[in-house]
Chains A and B, each alone.
Chain A
Amino acid sequence: MSVLVFADSSEGKFKKSAFEVVSYGKRVAEQLGTTVAVVTINASDVSELYTYGAEKVLIVSNEQLKTFNAKGYTSVLQQAATAENASIVVLDSSINVLHVAPMLAVAMNAGYASNVVALPSEVAPFTIKRKAFSNKGFSNTVMNTENKIIGVAKNSYGVHENPVAGTSESFDVTLSESDFGVTSEKVEKASGKVTIADADSVVSAGRGLKGPENWGMIEELAEVLGAATACSKPVSDLGWRPHGEHVGQTGKPVASNLYIAIGISGAIQHLAGINASKVKVVINTDPEAPFFKAADYGIVGDAFEVIPVLIEKLKAFKAA
């Protein structure tokens, strides 16, 4: 028995979440007194993974998987788990991996715990803490199946160095025609923009901004911070900002280190989706805005006055 980790990559490069799940998988393997193997698909340089404890790396290079294919990825992970005799598979929570995990659970006849926020508290019975109720609670879940799939919530365990002298080998997979029942036709992506999923910082604005024409300063603030931009639900419903920027309970989840909310009241549905962020800053004219109760730092003030100053001061800070 061993632990298998999938280190997902995009255009050949690993994201922080790949290092997080490798760190996590290594610690689970230690808890169980076993070894960890990491599988990668079309990644260019896997040596970085050794820093986080990847003892063995399986390198899958496959032209057909150049574009994401959920069934194809599932098949790769299943084959790797079989080859490594792994009964535990550790995954991150990226959009693509969330697509694959439940399919892998069926393929491996495994229980699946998603949104996991900590190492197993016990290994017999295997007990794991996961987020539930849209960040308003946690559940300690017991996994009864022999095979287990653990989906680690982004930024919850963290990246921990644990250097090993790892080895890598190429891993051949067999894909069948039935793995390609869904084909990718076209990918449209804003290039050069930080995405909410990857961002360490997120700058988010709400209806307090009055209209789409006022987002210039939000984008500028985000640029200074290297942050992604986001918005509250009414803002995307009104068409001021694209759907993909809507965060909250029914939008994208945010689990960044820094979340700056500007002109957002802090409705329960908004908070539910962003509560997993580590440090929250609120800028709002209304001192009674509920968001202040959920924030770490707050400024009671008019965004149209505060933000331009904040941008200038941050630029000076970055330049210093």
Chain B
Amino acid sequence: MKILVCISHVPDTTSKINFIENDTQFDTNGVQFVINPYDEFSLTRAMWFKEKQGASVTVVNVGNATTEPTLRKALAIGADAAIRVNAAATDGLFVAKQLAEIVKNGEYDLVLTGRESIDYNGGMVPGMLASLVDFNFVNGCVGIEVDGTGVSLVREIDGGNETHASTLPMVVAGQKGIVEESDLRIPNMRGIMMARKKPLTVVEPLEIENATAAQSYEKPAPKGAVKLIDADNIDALIDLLHNEAKVI
């Protein structure tokens, strides 16, 4: 089985979000970038398929050269090869079309992604990619087993889970549950050394116009101070929630 894991390069979850250039750009100053947390879960599941079922694992990112350390980290975790499509990722459809080209050329059986990127929170790329290459698609996956070309999947739904059956080739967007938190791996020294020798291929993008473009950014309006209520005066809380906030 040939697996492709799509890796989005995003600000660490603790990042302070600021905008510069007249609020037209995200300020990357001092921001630590990481593998998108959802993608890390999917990558870890891919490593399981590699170790238990002999799959090969390639990781791919659409981004400029600054994303390479993130791809190297994925190699250090255990992916066999990496591909970087040399273009800034500024629109979901644009990224999906670039990835579709990689999928078509690489004859992958299973494409694993995250449910969404924690930067622009599009939740777009996986479904778009699946449609572009005409693969079966399951979103929000919390469990996947592959047997030959048969695939059994569990997807999170409102208030529960739904089990699906499908066949390869597929695109599957994962999240926590596809592996457990405790299964995530921190690259060790050996992994990091080996990653340096693994292939990281840079390919040039297709020329495609962006469907959408971020014109400017805003920060949320600052919040007023909290109203503290005495622990012995729960009646006051109920009164505020009823008469002031009007939520009960």
Contacts and interface: CB of A to CB of B under 8 A. Distances in A.
A111 interface: yes
B123 interface: yes
Interface in A121-162: 127, 129, 131-145
Q: Name the interface size band of chain A.
A: 35 or more
Interface stretch (A52-60, A167-175, A192-200, A207-215): A192-200
A105 B242 contact: no
Q: Name the interface size band of chain B.
A: 35 or more
B119 A133 contact: yes
A305 B14 contact: no
Contacts of B214: 132, 139-142
B158 interface: yes
B166 interface: yes
Contacts of A292: 226, 228
Interface stretch (B55-63, B64-72, B135-143): B135-143
B226 A295 contact: yes
A299 B229 contact: yes
B163 A102 contact: no
B176 to A, nearest CB: 6
Contacts of A250: 13, 37-38, 118, 175-176
Contacts of B156: 95, 243-244
Contact of B123 (A98, A182, A201, A282): A98
B186 interface: no
Interface string B222-248: 011011111100110110111001011
17 contacts: A102-B124, A111-B93, A112-B212, A132-B120, A138-B218, A141-B214, A142-B214, A145-B211, A188-B160, A197-B158, A225-B248, A250-B37, A258-B241, A279-B241, A296-B227, A299-B237, A305-B231
Given A237-B181, A296-B227, 14 more contacts: A99-B127, A99-B140, A102-B124, A105-B93, A134-B13, A137-B219, A188-B162, A190-B159, A237-B182, A249-B37, A306-B234, A310-B238, A313-B234, A313-B235
Interface of A: 10, 68, 70-71, 74, 94-96, 98-103, 105-107, 110-115, 127, 129, 131-145, 181-190, 193, 195-198, 200-201, 225, 237, 243-244, 246, 249-251, 257-258, 268-269, 272, 275, 278-279, 281-282, 292-302, 305-306, 309-310, 313-314, 317
